[in-house]
Amino acid sequence: MSNRPNFFQRALNALIEGRTRQAERYVAQFERDHRIDRNRVNQR
């Protein structure tokens, strides 16, 4: 028997999922803004 999560559990899960998506977007934007070429031979 699987019970549907109560209101507070669903609200907490929604907050966590939203923050996770926000963090993923932030990291992607940072990587786009700070193109670090890791394939360079010299680190100059």
Rounded Cα distance between 12 and 16, Å, is: 6
In the prediction, which pLDDT does 18 show?
97
What's the whole-number mean pLDDT along residues 14-31?
Answer: 95
Say if residue 16's pLDDT is above 50: yes
> Which amino acid is residue 15, in one-letter code?
L
Q: When comparing pLDDT for 18 and 38, which is higher?
A: 18
Residue 44 in tokens: 């100059």
**Mean residue pLDDT across the chain:** 84
Query: Taking CA 34 as the corner, what is the angle to CA 17 and CA 42, rounded to the nearest 5 degrees?
Result: 130
Q: Where are the domains of the chain?
A: 1-34
Q: What dihedral do alpha carbons 14, 15, 17, 20 form, nearest 10°?
A: 170
